[in-house]
Structure 1
Amino acid sequence: MAGGRWRDEELEGEIQRVRGAIQAWAEQHDLWFDCGFTDYLKHVDSEPGDPPVVTLLIVGGDLHNMFEGYYGGELENGFSRLLEDMGYWYENRDGATVAIYPEEGGALSARFQSYFHWQWVCSLIEEDTSDVYEELYAHFANRPEDLHRLHWRDFEVLLFRIFQNQGFKAELGPGSGDDGVDLRLWQRDPIGDVLTVVQAKRYAQGNKVNLTEVAALQGVADAERADRALFVTTSSYLPVARRFTARIERPLFLAERNDIVAWCAQAANGVVLDKSTLVSKGAVEKLIYEVAQKRDPRIVRARSGYNTTMNEFALVVKETKHAALLMGLSGATVSHDGFGQRGTEVPLLDGSTIGRLTGELVWRARRNVRDREVTYWDGRHLFYPWNGEPMLFDYVD
């Protein structure tokens, strides 16, 4: 740790130290069986909270029983003291995972927050979630130095999404063997689409783009018969490269880090925080009518509750390959035990449903496809297509 500042590799070493101490303690007490560790982002696939989860302890066997209170409080108190001595505390999340947190308010907690937020931002670099996740753009608008930390391919994908956000029809190149074109942009024009070819270079600030690279893009634009060319770098340009662009007839624009930062700020401001406004009321009313008539995979359900069984119903009102917007649905009771504590329910789809199209009841989720089954994960619940049958609920703990 240099000057009180934790470097990434030191944080990674600290995570391993904490994990090693926990495992050694559990083995010493013969509790380590069917246990392990995982990363919060890998397990939850969601934005880190505050305070951040340093690691997730996966518990099974006797260690699980300890957290469930089977052995009295002495062992669990010993576990708590172990963490406290290292500057950490824990929370039993759901009986199967235990979250380990750093002490709040300290420099280490703040540094872990920044470290895990960066990892989450990198996980957002997908090709089609640009109207849902404003945090991606806001991060680079506020911390432009992190542009240099991106993998070169992620930098290209980031630009691809920025240009999509600006209204261009964009095509992302293959990443290698692209013949000098990283992206192609088309802009609608009354006399025909305007094609711009883009070359992207993620360079250190001191590594300025030279004449040869800019002239090469001009040659590619000639070969592609492009209307315009755009060179984008996280660095800047040598004066000779700028003089070259001033002499040629075709527009060849040179963009640098400050331009990328401005684009990110513009994109972040353009992503609507109230997700309910991203879909029209008329379109949702039509969707509600359609799905109410039959079993439809756009009606989804998640199970929640610890020692209870609760249903979370939602309607997929918009989706792309990697993202979706869900609108929460109320449940309608089909049968119950006379007290409303146990029974079955279905999602409510009637004239009142459109009233749920509000900012509080429309939220984003990550869309995944595995073995041809589509699921939606919002950071708390995993939604599956509802099977059309009344679902059991049980509120008795």
Structure 2
Amino acid sequence: MKPNDEFKESKVKATPSDAELEAVVISLQNSIREWAARHELWFDCGFQTYAQRVDGEPEAAPVATILHFNGDIGRALDGEFGDLDVEFIELLARHGFWFDRIDEVSVHIYPEDDSPLFQPFLDYVNWQWVCGLVQQDIADVHEELYSHFAKRPDDLHRLTWREFEILLFRIFQSQGFTCELGPGSNDGGIDVRVLQRDPLGDVLTLVQAKKYSPRNKIDMSAVAALHGVADVENAQKSIFVTTSDYLPSARKFAGRTRIPMTLATSNDVRNWCQNASDGIIRDKSKLVAPSAVSYLLQNLSSKDSRIVYARTGYSVITNQFAVVLKETKYAALLMGIPSRTISGYWQEGFEVPDIGSKCLEGLTADNVFRAKRSVSDGKVRYWNGHDLFRAWNGEPVHFNLCD
């Protein structure tokens, strides 16, 4: 019986848990490992999740696992060793999966489209992506972070207590407030400080977050402690936020405090996430004024570090050029720019970025994209989940479209 058939027949639970999905993946991985070892192919091989290897937005079809390799298993999957490639396809099919060769060192393995595991796996990989966005140091705004919790507030319970604090910090930031995230421990009972600039005087709001199970309700002592800190710090407001609820004594105390106090639950966080999601500009090209982009393009030199490129391809070699429109320490906004062939012919040769007035036509929603920025050995890299961009050195780069 295939693992997905087991779920078809199960009447205990309509949707498999994360642990059950992980068990399915482990079973699949063990079968692949045994098959490869039997054919003496299991050398320099391994498995990674999509989040671990790609660190980018999920694909339309969920990647259950990624098989990576440096040895002969890649040649076997290319059909160089008899019918081993057919055996591999049949092995995956017995488990309800199929694969796609991504590059020379890896394949992505997906659940079949008609499998009852397809949607659970899709939800699972999307959840991993959302968790990766709960970081205080990424300045770029990802709409899916907020829309996920707006639609599925129960998933707040799946966050760690620190991730819950960081999510609240990001929500208040998205509303335009000046925020300070506490250290996570020894914070004096305050997790986020929110400063609202006002012509009549700045308003300081202290936020206390508690990620508790639904049955662990907040009592009056916890609420009273927040009010005491707000009084000492001369705050104008305070907000207590929990994933559980409040005992009647806590609500009664909060209604009588001298400093206004709001008691919020997961429902409030859901509404905040919805408001944050609605307020985000999804068209990233709108984040940069055309006049600023025009000025940037006019002042680019051939060796400007803001011109970057990515080389991709498994059986062919292609290049993608882009220009960095804006960046922070951990994130960047890039715009694709066209290339121009300077030698060779249309299938193979050398090309350079075509930096001209027509580049401004690329300031569109489809051509402006976000990327994670990192620095290694003094060199800046930009990763958009599919391609790794690096600074172009001004020299022509090789391309080959011959398959």
Selected match of 1:336 from 343, 354, 375: 343
Q: Percent identity?
A: 49
Report what 2:3 is aligned to: none
Structure 2 match to 1:108: 117
Aligned to 2:40: 30
Question: Contact 1:131/1:165 (CA < 8 Å) preserved in 2?
Answer: no
Q: Which residue of structure 2 lines up, in the alignment, with residue 47 of structure 1?
A: 57
Q: Does the 8 Å CA contact 2:310/2:319 hold for their aligned counterparts? A: yes
For 2:35, the aligned partner's letter is W
> Structure 2 counterpart of 1:36, which letter?
G
SS of alignment partner, residue 36 of structure 1: strand
Q: Give CA-to-partner distance per residue, 1:81-127, whole Å, 9 cap, x none.
A: 11111211111111211111112122212111111111111011122
C-alpha displacement at 1:370, in angstroms? Answer: 2.6
Letter in 2 for 1:220: V
Please show how residues 161-176 of structure 1 align to structure 2 within 5 Å: 161-176=170-185
Shift of 1:216: 0.3
Alignment of 1:75 with 2:84, yes or no, is: yes
Alpha-carbon deviation of 1:69?
Answer: 2.5
Aligned length: 393
1:216 maps to which of 195, 210, 225: 225
Match of 1:305 in 2: 313
**SS of structure 1 residue aligned to 2:173:** helix
- Within the candidate set 236, 250, 259, 1:250 is matched to 259
Matches within 5 A, 1:184-195: 184-195=193-204
SS in 1 for 2:103: coil
Decide whether the 8 Å contact of 2:337 with 2:362 is kept in 1: yes
Question: What is the deviation of 1:294?
Answer: 5.5
3-state SS, counterpart of residue 374 of structure 1: strand
Amino acid at match of 2:352: V
C-alpha contact 1:229 1:251 (8 A) present in aligned 2: yes
Tell me, yes or no, if the aligned pair for 1:128 and 1:320 is still in contact at 8 Å: no
Are residues 28 and 293 of structure 1, via their aligned partners in 2, closer, same or farther at CA, if it must alter by over 3 Å? closer
Alignment of 1:264-303 (within 5 A): 264-290=273-299, 292-293=300-301, 295-303=303-311
**Does 1:177 find its partner at 2:186?**
yes
CA deviation vs aligned residue, 1:56-79 (integer Å, no higher than 9, x gap): 11133221111222223x111111
Residue in structure 2 matched with residue 231 of structure 1 by the alignment: 240
Contact 2:335/2:363 (CA < 8 Å) preserved in 1? yes
- 2:324 maps to 1:316: yes
Secondary structure of the structure 1 residue equivalent to 2:190 = coil
Letter in 1 for 2:167: L
**Alignment gaps of 5+ in structure 1:** none
Residue type of the alignment partner of 2:335 = M
* Structure 1 counterpart of 2:311, one-letter code: R
2:70 aligned residue (60, 65, 70):
60
TM-score, normalised via structure 2 length? 0.93
Q: Secondary structure at the match of 2:72?
A: helix
CA shift, 1:313, in A, is 0.4
**Correspondence for 2:365:** 359
- Whole-Å separation in 2 of the counterparts to 1:218 and 1:297: 51
Deviates more, 1:356-365 or 1:371-380: 371-380
2:378: which partner in 1? Answer: 372
- For 2:338, give the aligned amino acid: S
Shift of 1:131: 4.9
2:22 to 4, 12, 23: 12
Equivalents in 2 of 1:146, 1:316: separation in Å? 35
Checking the alignment, whether the CA contact within 8 Å between 2:139 and 2:330 is kept in structure 1 is no
In structure 1, what is the Cα distance between the partners aligned to 2:13 and 2:205?
A: 47
- CA–CA distance in 2 between the matches of 1:3 and 1:343? 57
Higher mean C-alpha displacement, 363-372 vs 203-212: 363-372
CA separation in 1, counterparts of 2:395 and 2:233?
56
Give the superposed CA RMSD.
1.6
Residues 37 and 392 of structure 1: CA distance in aligned 2, closer, same or farther (over 3 Å): same
Equivalent pair of 1:131/1:271 in contact (CA under 8 Å): no
Name the CA distance, whole Å, in 2 between partners of 1:174 and 1:266. 27
Q: Deviations over 1:255-287 (max 9, x none)?
A: 221111100001111111211011111221222
**What 5-or-longer segments of structure 2 have no aligned partner?**
1-6
1:11 and 1:240 mapped to 2: Cα distance?
42
